[in-house]
């Protein structure tokens, strides 16, 4: 006799994953330690009506960004280009890197895929996602007797 249905099992694994993440987050300090192959790093915040996913992408042109959303997954793809200088240039320091990136972000709640906006300002990408009505907090009036 199966103890879990498949979906229950996945939900359980997901719950465990989140608990582990929370644990490590507390140990490591305010930010989670960057993992290999996960670029860009993202910060996720919320207010009453929206979820905000932000990523630092300095020097990335908005036209080189490709953002898609499917179910509860937001995909940020793109390329960071650094123009190469002419030949008679002598480099003293080269710390900035160019290359491709792809990041899948699992959103904390289901969102309305038709109400997603993305904006890039000063090298920071902000994806604004609308929360569906059923997850928004609702004020409940307490009736007197």
Partner 1 sequence: MAEQELTPKAKEEAPAKAERVRPGRVFIPAVDIFETPQALVLVADMPGVGGDNVILDLKENLLVIQGQVGPLPEKETMLAQEYAIGDYYREFQVGELIDKDKIEATVKNGVLTLTLPKAEKAKPRRIEVKTG
Smallest separation (angstroms) from partner 1 to the CB of 98? 7
Region of 5-13, 46-54, 68-76, 137-145 interacting with partner 1 (CB under 8 A): 46-54
Decide whether 44 or 116 has the Cβ nearer to partner 1.
Answer: 44
Three-class secondary structure of residue 101 per DSSP: strand
68 binds partner 1 (CB under 8 A): no
Q: Return the number of the residue (9 or 23) whose C-beta is nearest partner 1.
A: 23
- Asked whether 43 and 32 are in contact (CB, 8 A), the reply is no
Asked if 131 is part of the footprint of partner 1 (rule: CB under 8 A), the reply reads: no
If one asks whether residue 56 binds partner 1 (CB under 8 A), the answer comes out as: yes
Using CB under 8 A as the binding rule, the residues of this chain from 3 to 22 that contact partner 1 are none
CA dihedral 102, 103, 109, 115 (to 10 degrees): -40
- Rounded CA-CA distance 90/71 in Å is 49
Give the single-character DSSP code of 137. -
Contact 144, 86 (CB under 8 A): no
Contacts (CB under 8 A) with partner 1, residues 70-99: 80, 82, 84-86, 88-99
């Amino acid at each position: 006799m199966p103890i879990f249905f498949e979906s229950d099992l996945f939900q359980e694994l997901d719950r465990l994953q989140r608990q582990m993440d929370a644990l490590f987050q507390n140990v490591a300090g305010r930010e989670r330690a960057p993992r290999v192959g996960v670029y860009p790093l993202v910060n996720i915040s919320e207010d009453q009506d929206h979820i905000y996913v932000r990523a630092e992408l300095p020097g990335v042109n908005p036209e080189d960004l490709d953002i898609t959303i499917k179910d509860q997954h937001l995909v940020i793809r793109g390329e960071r280009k650094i123009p190469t200088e002419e030949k008679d240039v002598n480099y003293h320091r080269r710390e900035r890197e160019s290359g491709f990136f792809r990041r899948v972000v699992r959103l904390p709640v289901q969102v309305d895929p038709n109400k997603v906006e993305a904006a890039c300002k000063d090298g920071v990408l902000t994806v604004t996602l609308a929360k569906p009505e059923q997850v928004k907090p609702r004020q409940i009036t307490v009736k007197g007797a």
